[in-house]
Chains A and B, each alone.
Chain A
């Protein structure tokens, strides 16, 4: 069964079409990668999926329910977690408090019920040493890890990762990918936008290529990467 299904989702900003008749589905526990040139509408697609912006037409189903007009906080409660390309921690809260807020409000439970799980997530994401540090003082890698940890605290069934590996060193990237693989292995569905292809391809089962707001290919990573159209558009290779 599909956890997320988009049907003919379109969105325009004035004359600029950022999403055109987008149709695809993600199965429960599946990992889908999204690639495309800058300005292809990848982050906009995430904003449509998690409800930050409303589509002009089309429908979005999540966990069997139509969520097209449902506000972001309700989508979070029904199991959709998201990280931002530019990490947005609550800077004046400690790392642990960042998770506690997400854990308590994202699942509508008491802080005392979620605090143990929040601590586990900090261990899993390698942030436990920084638990009582104000989030404003973290480095880029730590901020990206916090972004991931905070999304996990809301207990998502589907995790939207927006260029989480961008700007990291090779070593940092490898350890982050290992963390994401571990999360995926626990049955969390993942949609991951990324330019770092080798990182992406080591996790996802399918790739979706976006170009000027249109889906121009979806399928197994090696098939997609072998396709002539994708190579021309995305990699800029003349064949």
Chain B
């Protein structure tokens, strides 16, 4: 077994998990909303890209570019008209509603696309690779990782350097007082979920081109996203990337020892972090 190669593949896989997690993390950070339908929304976006690619004959990247505004609008409307009504002191309503939404999306996709396993073809890119020193890395995994880094850089710039970002943080701190400063919390929340759905579309692009997916693939993506966030520590997007990388390495190392162990070792790594560092590896000061 080539250890270096295994670890590099794990790091790159971690990029995909960080992409799964970034949208979830954004929404939780701003409105303390745990979106249990997040994984299903990723799968939904993958089907939207698939539909665009098959009907219009465009490349998956163009498909994702077209799907992004659609998903933004869907996320905005979902938050503004439905999820905003569930937010309050009680944390149960958003959990129940998003859990219900997860079931609705899965069954809607089953109706529309059948239970078949699908894949979006990325043509010759799928098998292309370049040599990174002693190891070969696939172009698609590399792009996934670089996209994850780019998404995190962009989100951090947005949150810490722009007026909208300050409004995000102010609303996250205290929505009522933010309202007295002329901020409309309902719209800020809708904007945040819309943005999260753009990140979801990027995640869906790589999910759909790298692996098979089916209408019921969502919950497992949600679990990887959660694990990446918790391992990294709540509230830090770079921590989430690190969490994704740790999860990815644990999985590829497990798979290298025995292919049946891939999923198991990922969860074991997560449990170990919970056991020894329950607040994650890079927690923010207080939360």
Contacts and interface: CB of A to CB of B under 8 A. Distances in A.
B267 interface: no
Residue with the greatest number of chain B CB neighbours at <10 A, chosen from A71, A72, A150: A72
B180 interface: yes
Contacts of B183: 73, 101, 105
A101 B169 CA distance: 10
Given A90-B174, A101-B167, A108 B182 contact: yes
| Residues of A contacting B: mostly | helix
B179 A101 contact: no
A91 B183 CA distance: 17
Residue with the greatest number of chain A CB neighbours at <10 A, chosen from B166, B172, B174, B181: B181
B163 A104 contact: yes
Residue with the greatest number of chain B CB neighbours at <10 A, chosen from A71, A82, A93, A107: A93
Contacts of A105: 163, 167, 181-183
Interface in A73-130: 73, 76-77, 82, 84, 88, 90-93, 97-98, 100-102, 104-108, 110-111
Interface in B46-73: none
Contact of A110 (B163, B169, B172, B179): B163
Contact of B182 (A76, A88, A100): A76
A68 interface: no
Contacts, number: 67
B80 to A, nearest CB: 15
Given A101-B166, A101-B167, A110-B163, A93 B173 contact: yes
Contact of B177 (A88, A104, A108): A88
Given A101-B183, A102-B182, 20 more contacts: A52-B180, A71-B179, A72-B180, A73-B179, A76-B179, A76-B180, A76-B182, A88-B176, A88-B177, A90-B173, A90-B177, A91-B173, A92-B169, A93-B169, A100-B163, A101-B166, A101-B167, A101-B170, A106-B181, A154-B182
Interface of B: 163, 166-167, 169-170, 172-174, 176-184
Interface of A: 50, 52, 71-73, 76-77, 82, 84, 88, 90-93, 97-98, 100-102, 104-108, 110-111, 150, 154
